[in-house]
C-alpha cells in the first residue's frame, strides 16, 4: 500500500513541476520518470515469486475458475495495428493514464500466475520492470492449461496503448483488458533497441503476422479478443466496426487453419472451428443490420458448413435469404432452425422463428401469385408499420427503349390490361430527412417551388443522394452480384448505356455462390475502377424516386429501367418505405414499353414539370405531352402569368379555365381532342379549385366541368390519387352521372388493381386520408410558413 502512495506522490510532484515550466507532454517524457526504485526488476520478481510459491499448488492444479471479465474494461481497448504506435518505456508511464498512440515493448521475466487476470512481469528494453495484468486472456479451461506457454518466461511482447494504474493492493500495474492488445513475438521489435515504428507490415492483421510461427492458442486467443471487441461494437450498434473486427478475427483463424493443416491437433482445431463459427455467425448478424444480405447469407452459410446444427446461423441465413427475396429457401432455413431448437442452443425464441417462417411463407405466396391484400397492407402503413410484402416480378423484361436515345426501358412480355400488376419491387436503399430541419432555412424561392410541386421540397436533396450512395457502396463492396446490378443502372446520360441491355437474370432473385465473392471477404480486394463513389452518386440521383411529400428518396433496381412520360401507360404506388407497386393503366401489347410518370404530381403545367425533371432527375423530358406544350409555350406562359396565384386566388383559376376552354374552341392548334385532355390535366388545379362552386359550374355548364376533368385526367394519366381524393371530399358520387362514376371506378382499378367495389372504395378513402396527412400536411406547413414570411 505504502509503495503505491509514495509513487503517486512522486508522480504528482513531477506533474506539478512540469506544468510550472509550461512543457508540453511530448517533451516531458524524458524528465518525467517513475521513481526507479519502484520499477526495479529484482524487487518485483522477488515479490512475484513469493506469491507464486504461495499459490503454486492452486496454479498447478489448474482449478482456477475465476470469472472472465469480458466487457468490464476500465480502460479503452485499443487493438490498433502496431505500425504507427510510438514506443514508450516503463519509466515514462504515467499513473492512471491510457497511453494512446504508444506501445511498450519488452519481455516477460517470470512464470505467470493466474488470479482473476493473468499476472506477470514485463521487463522493458531499458531494463525496467512493471507488473502486468492481462484480463480475458484465458476464456476457458483449455487456455488455462496453456497459460504456461502463452505467457512463458522470456516471451517477447508488445503492449499496445498501455494503461498504467494503481491496483487494488496499491501497487502499480499495467492493465490489459483486451487480449488483442497483448502481442506475442512482435515482428517490429525482433531487433533490439528503440527505433521508430515504421517497419512495414503486411495487409494482414499485425496480430497474426507478427508471430513468426503462429502457435494455435496464440491465434485463437487473438481472434477471441477481436471477436469480444466485435461484440462490444455490435452492442454499441456500430455495425461497420463490428464487421471489421469480426473480419480481423476470421482472417487470423483462417490463416492459422491453412498453415496448420498438416499437423492438426484435434483439441486446438475444435477450438478454432468454434471461434470461426461464432465469428462468421456474428458477422452475419451485423451485416443483416446493414441489409448487406448477400454477405450475411455467405457468412451464415460458412458458419453452417462448420457446424450444421448452429441454430442462430440457420436463422440468420433464413433472414438473409428472405432479404434476397428467396422466400422458399428462407422458409426452409427457419424450419430447420425450429427442428434444431432445444438441442442446447440458447438465445433463440421459438416464437420468433415461427413468425419468421410464417412471414417467408406469406411472401412466397405473394411472389408466386402477385396477389396482395392491399387494404390490410395500407392499414398497417397507416399505423406506422412496414407491411409484410414479397417481391413480385410480373410480365416484364429489360429491352431497348422505344426511342433509341432513351437507352434501355422495361417492356411487357405479354398483353396486359389496365390495373394488371407488372411488378412489386423492394427498395435497396432509402434515405429520409427530418421535417423540422427541412423547415428551417428554406428560402422564399424554395418555399414557393415546393408549393407548386415544381422542385424537390428539400434544399437537402443532395443529402438524400449522398446517403443513398453510401448505403449502396457499402453493400456493393461485399457482393459482386449487387455490384453488377448497380453498375448496370444508368447514370444521368441514358444514351451512354443504350446498347448495354443487361440479362434479366441479374435482377431475378438468385443465390450467388461464387468463389470470387468469398475472396473479397478474405482479401478485401475490390476493383473500384468502374465503381467509384461519383458514378454511384450519379446513378442514385438519376434513378432514385424522390417523394417530396414524404421527405424521402428511395432506390429500386428493376424499376430503374422504366422511362418517364407525362402521358404514362403505367403507374407506381409506393407502399410503406420499401415496396413499389407498378401497374398498367392502359392496354399494352406484348413488347410495348412501360412508361411511368416520375413526378409526384404530373397534373401540373409544363414549366413546373420541366423544372422538377431537370432539377431532381437531371434531364429534359422528350415525351409527346411536353413536346406539344413546348410548341404552345408563349400561350401557356401567358396562362401561367395570369394564374400565378392559382392556388389561393379563385378568380385567377377561373380565368385560366375560361381562357383554355376559349382557346380549345377558337385556336386551330388546340383542336386535337388528345391535346385538349393533356392541357386540362396540366391545369387540373384551376379546374378543381371550383368543383363545389355553383356559379363556376354554371359559367362552364357547356363543358360539364366534373366530367371533363375526370375524363381528361383518366386519358392523360390513367389515374390520379390526388384527383380521386378531391372528388371524394367535395363531390357526392351518388349524384354524379354513371359516366363519371364509371371513370372514377376505372381510375381506381388503374391505381389499385381489380378489387371488389367495396374494397376499392375503402382503399380510395384510406389512401386519400393518408395523402392528406402526409403530403398536404407538409405542404400546408410550407404554405403557412410562406404566409408568415410575407
Ligand X SMILES: C[S@@+](CC[C@H](N)C(=O)[O-])C[C@H]1O[C@@H](n2cnc3c(N)ncnc32)[C@H](O)[C@@H]1O
Q: How far is the CB of 495 from ligand X (least distance, A)?
A: 7
753 binds ligand X (CB under 6 A): no
Q: Which helix (H) or strand (E) holds 759?
A: helix 757-771
Cα–Cα nearest to 106, from 61, 160, 178, 143: 160
Min separation Cβ 722 and ligand X, Å: 21
**3 state DSSP class of 687:** helix
**Closer by beta carbon to ligand X, 538 or else 778:** 538
Q: Which residues within the stretch 146-205 sit at the binding site for ligand X (CB under 6 A)?
A: none
What sections of 533-648 are H helices per DSSP? 533-543, 606-612, 624-631, 633-642
Q: How far is the CB of 501 from ligand X (least distance, A)?
A: 9
Specify the residue, 151 or 561, whose C-beta has the smaller distance to ligand X.
Answer: 561
**How open is the CA angle 367-369-372, to the nearest 5 degrees?**
80
**CB nearer ligand X, residue 79 or residue 488:** 488
- Residue 567 cell numbers, joined: 402521358
Minimal distance, residue 492 CB to ligand X, in Å? 5
Can you tell me which of 120, 229, 540, 560 binds ligand X, judged by CB under 6 A? 560
Nearer to ligand X, 408 or 680 (CB): 408
- 268 or 541: CB nearest ligand X: 541
Contact 241, 260 (CB under 8 A): no
Rank residues 401 and 740 by Cβ distance to ligand X and give the closer one: 401
CA distance 195 to 731: 86
Q: How far is the CB of 572 from ligand X (least distance, A)?
A: 12
Which residue lies nearest ligand X, judged by its C-beta?
Answer: 407
Closest separation in Å from C-beta 613 to ligand X: 8
Residues in the interface with ligand X (CB under 6 A) total: 22
C-alpha angle 746/752/754, rounded to 5°?
A: 65
Q: Is 489 helix (H, G, I), strand (E, B) or coil?
A: coil
CB 659 within 8 A of CB 699: no
For residue 90, give every residue at least 6 positions away whose Cβ sits within 8 Å of its Cβ, in sequence order, or none: 34, 39, 104, 106, 122, 124, 126, 128, 129, 130
Nearer to ligand X among residue 217 and residue 608 (C-beta): 608
Report whether 156 contacts 190 (CB < 8 A). yes
Q: Which stretch binds ligand X (CB under 6 A): 64-72, 180-188, 488-496, 779-787?
A: 488-496
**Phi (first) and psi of residue 503, to 5 degrees:** -70, 135
Residue 464 corresponds to which cell in the numbers above?
Answer: 438524400
Contact range with ligand X by CB under 6 A, out of 201-209, 260-268, 467-475, 487-495? 487-495
* Identity of the residue, 182 or 556, whose beta carbon is nearer to ligand X in the bound complex: 556
Q: How many C-beta atoms surround the C-beta of residue 762 within 10 A?
A: 16
In 128-228 the beta strands, taken as DSSP E runs, fall at 129-134, 156-160, 163-166, 172-176, 182-184
Residues in contact with ligand X, shown as a per-residue x/- string from 449 to 478 under the rule CB under 6 A: ------------------------------
Q: Is 541 in the site for ligand X (CB under 6 A)?
A: no
485 binds ligand X (CB under 6 A): no
User: What is the three-class DSSP state of 75?
Assistant: coil
Judged by CB under 6 A, the residue of 4, 162, 279, 407 near ligand X is: 407
Q: Is 542 in the site for ligand X (CB under 6 A)?
A: yes
Handedness of CA 638, 640, 641, 642 (dihedral sign): positive
Per CB under 6 A, does 543 bind ligand X? yes
Q: How far is the CB of 616 from ligand X (least distance, A)?
A: 10
Q: Smallest distance from the beta carbon of 503 to ligand X, in angstroms?
A: 14
Q: What's the min distance (Å) between Cβ of 624 and ligand X?
A: 10
Span from 92-100, 289-297, 405-413, 711-719 in contact with ligand X (CB under 6 A):
405-413
Closest CA to 432 of 453, 456, 463: 463
Question: Quick one: which of 10, 52, 64, 497 contacts ligand X (CB under 6 A)?
Answer: 497
* Beta-strand pair 593-596/563-564: parallel
The nearer residue to ligand X, 172 or 401, going by C-beta atoms, is 401
C-alpha cell at 505: 437474370
740 binds ligand X (CB under 6 A): no
Q: Which CB atom, from 127 or from 502, has the smaller least distance to ligand X? A: 502
Of 127 and 399, which has the nearer Cβ to ligand X? Answer: 399
Q: Does 406 bind ligand X (CB under 6 A)?
A: yes
CA dihedral (267, 268, 274, 276) in degrees, to 10, reads -150
Contact 613, 538 (CB under 8 A): no
Dihedral sign, Cα of residue 721, residue 722, residue 725, residue 731: negative
Q: How far is the CB of 67 from ligand X (least distance, A)?
A: 58
Among 305, 492, 627, 789, binds ligand X (CB under 6 A): 492
- CB-wise, 32 or 494, nearer to ligand X? 494
The least distance separating ligand X from the CB of residue 83, rounded to whole angstroms, comes to: 45
Exactly one of 283, 292, 564, 680 binds ligand X (CB under 6 A); that residue is 564
Specify the stretch interacting with ligand X by CB under 6 A; choose among 142-150, 271-279, 492-500, 756-764: 492-500
- To ligand X, the closest distance from the beta carbon of 562 in angstroms equals 6
Which residues fall within 8 angstroms of residue 20, CB to CB, at 6 or more apart? Answer: none
Q: Is 401 in the site for ligand X (CB under 6 A)?
A: yes
Q: How far apart are CA 557 and CA 724, in angstroms?
A: 29
Shortest spacing between CB 500 and ligand X, in angstroms: 8
Instruction: Look at residue 131 and give its three-state secondary structure.
Output: strand
Name which of residues 628 to 687 contact ligand X (CB under 6 A): none
Nearest CA to 153 among 48, 298, 27, 55?
48
Residues written for the chain: 790
Spatial separation of the C-alpha atoms in residues 321 and 285, rounded to whole Å = 13
Among 211, 366, 490, 713, binds ligand X (CB under 6 A): 490
Is the Cβ of residue 398 or residue 660 nearer to ligand X in the bound state?
398
**Residue of 326, 268, 61 lying closest to 150 (CA atoms):** 268
Q: Which of residues 610-629 bind ligand X (CB under 6 A)?
A: 617-619, 621-623
Q: Using the minimum distance from each CB to ligand X, give the nearer residue, 407 or 705.
A: 407
CA distance readout (Å), 108 to 123, 257, 752:
6, 28, 74
Of the pair 605, 705, the CB lying nearest ligand X is at 605
* Contact range with ligand X by CB under 6 A, out of 54-62, 239-247, 296-304, 559-567: 559-567
Residue from 565, 569, 601, 682 binding ligand X (CB under 6 A):
565
Q: Is 563 in the site for ligand X (CB under 6 A)?
A: yes
Q: 229 to 268, contacts with ligand X by CB under 6 A?
A: none
Least distance from ligand X to the Cβ atom of residue 581, Å: 17
> Which is closer to ligand X, CB of 356 or CB of 494?
494
Residues pairing with 104 in the sheet: 159
How far is it, in rounded angstroms, from Cα 540 to Cα 470? 10
Q: Identify the CA nearest to 163 among candidates 99, 217, 86, 208.
A: 99
Tell whether the torsion through CA atoms of 537, 539, 540 and 546 is positive or negative. Answer: positive
Q: Whole-angstrom distance between the N-terminal and C-terminal Cα of the chain? A: 75
Residue 350: strand pairing partners: none
Q: Least distance (Å) from ligand X to the CB of residue 507?
A: 12
Report residue 131 as a C-alpha cell: 507488473
Shortest Å distance, C-beta 477 to ligand X: 23
Interstrand relation of 102-108 and 86-87 (parallel, antiparallel or unpaired): parallel
**Contacting residue, 250, 416, 494, 545, with ligand X by CB under 6 A:** 494
- For the bound state, the minimum distance from the C-beta of residue 505 to ligand X, rounded and expressed in Å, comes to 17
Sites of contact with ligand X (CB under 6 A): 401, 406-409, 490, 492, 494, 497, 542-543, 560-561, 563-565, 617-619, 621-623
Amino acid at each position: 500500500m505504502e509503495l503505491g502512495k509514495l509513487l503517486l506522490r512522486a508522480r504528482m510532484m513531477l506533474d506539478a513541476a512540469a506544468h510550472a515550466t509550461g512543457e508540453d507532454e511530448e517533451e516531458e517524457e524524458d524528465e518525467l520518470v517513475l521513481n526507479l526504485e519502484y520499477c526495479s526488476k529484482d524487487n518485483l520478481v522477488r515479490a512475484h515469486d513469493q506469491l507464486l510459491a504461495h499459490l503454486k499448488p492452486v496454479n498447478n492444479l489448474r482449478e482456477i475458475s475465476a470469472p472472465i471479465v469480458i466487457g468490464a474494461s476500465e480502460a479503452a481497448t485499443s487493438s490498433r495495428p502496431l505500425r504507427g504506435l510510438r514506443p514508450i518505456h516503463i519509466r515514462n508511464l504515467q499513473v492512471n493514464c491510457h497511453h494512446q498512440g504508444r506501445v511498450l515493448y519488452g519481455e516477460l521475466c517470470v512464470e505467470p500466475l493466474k488470479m482473476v487476470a493473468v499476472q506477470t512481469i514485463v521487463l522493458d528494453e531499458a531494463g525496467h520492470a512493471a507488473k502486468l495484468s492481462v484480463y480475458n486472456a484465458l476464456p476457458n479451461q483449455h487456455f488455462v492449461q496453456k497459460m504456461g506457454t502463452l505467457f512463458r518466461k522470456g516471451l517477447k511482447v508488445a503492449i499496445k496503448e498501455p494503461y498504467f494504474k494503481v491496483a487494488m493492493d496499491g501497487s502499480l500495474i499495467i492493465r490489459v483488458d483486451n487480449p488483442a492488445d497483448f502481442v506475442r513475438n512482435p515482428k517490429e521489435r525482433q531487433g533490439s533497441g528503440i527505433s521508430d515504428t515504421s517497419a512495414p507490415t503486411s495487409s494482414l492483421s499485425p496480430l497474426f503476422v507478427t508471430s513468426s510461427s503462429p502457435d494455435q492458442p496464440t491465434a485463437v486467443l487473438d481472434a477471441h479478443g477481436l471477436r469480444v471487441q466485435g461484440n462490444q461494437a455490435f452492442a454499441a450498434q456500430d455495425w461497420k466496426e463490428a464487421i471489421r473486427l469480426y473480419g480481423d478475427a476470421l482472417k487470423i483463424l483462417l490463416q492459422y487453419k491453412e498453415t496448420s493443416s498438416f499437423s492438426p491437433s484435434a483439441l486446438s482445431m475444435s477450438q478454432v472451428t468454434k471461434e470461426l463459427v461464432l465469428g462468421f455467425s456474428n458477422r452475419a448478424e451485423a451485416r443483416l443490420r446493414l441489409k448487406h444480405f448477400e454477405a450475411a447469407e455467405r457468412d451464415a452459410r460458412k458458419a453452417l458448413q462448420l457446424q450444421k446444427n448452429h441454430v442462430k446461423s440457420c436463422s440468420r441465413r433464413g433472414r438473409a435469404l428472405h432479404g434476397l427475396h428467396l422466400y422458399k429457401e428462407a422458409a426452409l432455413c427457419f424450419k430447420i432452425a425450429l427442428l434444431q431448437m432445444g438441442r442446447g442452443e440458447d438465445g433463440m425464441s421459438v416464437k420468433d422463428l415461427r413468425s419468421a417462417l410464417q412471414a417467408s411463407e406469406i411472401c412466397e405466396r405473394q411472389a408466386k401469385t402477385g396477389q396482395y391484400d392491399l387494404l390490410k397492407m395500407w392499414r398497417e402503413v397507416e399505423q406506422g408499420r412496414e407491411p409484410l410484402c414479397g417481391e413480385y416480378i410480373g410480365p416484364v423484361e429489360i429491352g431497348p427503349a422505344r426511342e433509341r436515345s432513351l437507352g434501355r426501358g422495361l417492356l411487357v412480355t405479354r398483353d396486359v390490361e389496365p390495373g394488371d400488376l407488372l411488378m412489386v419491387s423492394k427498395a435497396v436503399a432509402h434515405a429520409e430527412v427530418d421535417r423540422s430541419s427541412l423547415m428551417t432555412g428554406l428560402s422564399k424561392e424554395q418555399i414557393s417551388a415546393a408549393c407548386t410541386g415544381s422542385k424537390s421540397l428539400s434544399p437537402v436533396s443532395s443529402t438524400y443522394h449522398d446517403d443513398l450512395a453510401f448505403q449502396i457502396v457499402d453493400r456493393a463492396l461485399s457482393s459482386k452480384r449487387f455490384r453488377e446490378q448497380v453498375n448496370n443502372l444508368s447514370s444521368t446520360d441514358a444514351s451512354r448505356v443504350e446498347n448495354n441491355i443487361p440479362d434479366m437474370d441479374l435482377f431475378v432473385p438468385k443465390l450467388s455462390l461464387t468463389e470470387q465473392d468469398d475472396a473479397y471477404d478474405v482479401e478485401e480486394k475490390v476493383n473500384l475502377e468502374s465503381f467509384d463513389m461519383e458514378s454511384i452518386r450519379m446513378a442514385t440521383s438519376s434513378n432514385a424516386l424522390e417523394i417530396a411529400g414524404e421527405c424521402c428518396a428511395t432506390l429500386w433496381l428493376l424499376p430503374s429501367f422504366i422511362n418517364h412520360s407525362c402521358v404514362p401507360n403505367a403507374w407506381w404506388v409506393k407502399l410503406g418505405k420499401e415496396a413499389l407497386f407498378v401497374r398498367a393503366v392502359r392496354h399494352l401489347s406484348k413488347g410495348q414499353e412501360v412508361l411511368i410518370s416520375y413526378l409526384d404530381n404530373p397534373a401540373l403545367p409544363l414549366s413546373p414539370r420541366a423544372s422538377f425533371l431537370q432539377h431532381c432527375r437531371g434531364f429534359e423530358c422528350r415525351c409527346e405531352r411536353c413536346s406539344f406544350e413546348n410548341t404552345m409555350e408563349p400561350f401557356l406562359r401567358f396562362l401561367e402569368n395570369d394564374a400565378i396565384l392559382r392556388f389561393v386566388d379563385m378568380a385567377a383559376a377561373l380565368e385560366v379555365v375560361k381562357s383554355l376552354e376559349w382557346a380549345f374552341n377558337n385556336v386551330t392548334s388546340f383542336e386535337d381532342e388528345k391535346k385538349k385532355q393533356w392541357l386540362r390535366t396540366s391545369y387540373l388545379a384551376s379546374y378543381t379549385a371550383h368543383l363545389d362552386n355553383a356559379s363556376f359550374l354554371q359559367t362552364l355548364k357547356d363543358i360539364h366541368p366534373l366530367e371533363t376533368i375526370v375524363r381528361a385526367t383518366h386519358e392523360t394519366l390513367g389515374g390520379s390519387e390526388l384527383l380521386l381524393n378531391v372528388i371524394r371530399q367535395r363531390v357526392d358520387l351518388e349524384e354524379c352521372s354513371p359516366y363519371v362514376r364509371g371513370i372514377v371506378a376505372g381510375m381506381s382499378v388503374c391505381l389499385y388493381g381489380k378489387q371488389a367495389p367495396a374494397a376499392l372504395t375503402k382503399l380510395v378513402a384510406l389512401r386519400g386520408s393518408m395523402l392528406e396527412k402526409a403530403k398536404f400536411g407538409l405542404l400546408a406547413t410550407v404554405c403557412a410558413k410562406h404566409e408568415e414570411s410575407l
